[in-house]
Copies of this chain bind each other. A is one copy, B any other.
């Protein structure tokens, strides 16, 4: 009944979704059946900051980005979402409105559950609640780390770290090095690191001339990860 790219694939993704770790495949099947599938083109907004939070989602294909608009209108990129990652869960569990906007940055697919359905699932499968806690704890630690970074480091180090993080989350080995497999503009990198697209552009140009990275339109390849680590840790003389 299911075409090969729907429920059966869903299950495969859900099996390696941290939120559902430890849940048996048959229970996962139940869980999957309680979900809604949404397949969207690039640019689609899953939900918008400030809207009443109604659903928890897991990305099954593609990539999404979570952004937040400052009262002053400046955008900040909170994080990218990769397949098998949960998003939108914080709002449902915490406050009643989404604290970020979620947008697909390439053709994507997500499964989602209504907040009360998820609450039900957590009651029925306590492991899911535990997983959610562990995930949130991890998110908190990451945010604290970024906060410290933003407070204490220079732009160049922050950009280096952002790229290294992205490589870990969405890196793909290619001939020239590690490709960050997300359409990633200079503007995105700037919003991710709290700087401007101009500064990011200059930094990437310099790194490219030093052979550290390859930078193209919405595309970054890390050629010398270790070199970036050196920059990130500020062990640099100043270079040139």
Q: Given A133-B133, A140-B136, are A150 and B95 also a contact pair (CB < 8 Å)?
A: no
Contacts of A94 in B (CB 8 A): 133-134, 136-138, 140-141
Distance (whole angstroms) from the CB of A52 to the closest CB of chain B = 15
Q: How far is the CA of A173 from the CA of B57 in the complex (A)?
A: 44
Q: How far is the CA of A240 from the CA of B234 in the complex (A)?
A: 39
A237 at the interface (CB under 8 A from B): no
Contacts of A91 in B (CB 8 A): 137
Q: Given A78-B147, A133-B136, A143-B144, are A152 and B70 also a contact pair (CB < 8 Å)?
A: yes
Q: How far is the CA of A78 from the CA of B140 in the complex (A)?
A: 11
Q: How far is the CA of A68 from the CA of B94 in the complex (A)?
A: 25
Most buried by B among A70, A94, A134, A193: A94
Q: How far is the CA of A94 from the CA of B74 in the complex (A)?
A: 32
Contacts of A145 in B (CB 8 A): 68, 99
Q: Among B136, B153, B193, which residue has its beta carbon within 8 angstroms of that of A137?
A: B136
Residue of B nearest to A77 (CB): B151
Q: Among B74, B123, B138, B143, which residue has its beta carbon within 8 angstroms of that of A143?
A: B143
A76 at the interface (CB under 8 A from B): yes
Chain A interface category by residue count: 35 or more
Q: Among B123, B141, B151, B193, which residue has its beta carbon within 8 angstroms of that of A90?
A: B141
A71 at the interface (CB under 8 A from B): yes
Q: How far is the CA of A141 from the CA of B99 in the complex (A)?
A: 7
Q: How far is the CA of A110 from the CA of B90 in the complex (A)?
A: 28
Contacts of A138 in B (CB 8 A): 94-95
Q: Given A140-B90, A141-B90, A141-B99, are A76 and B147 also a contact pair (CB < 8 Å)?
A: yes
Q: Are B143 and A140 in contact (CB under 8 A)?
A: yes
Q: Are A68 and B144 in contact (CB under 8 A)?
A: yes
Distance (whole angstroms) from the CB of A108 to the closest CB of chain B = 22
A236 at the interface (CB under 8 A from B): no
Residue of B nearest to A150 (CB): B150
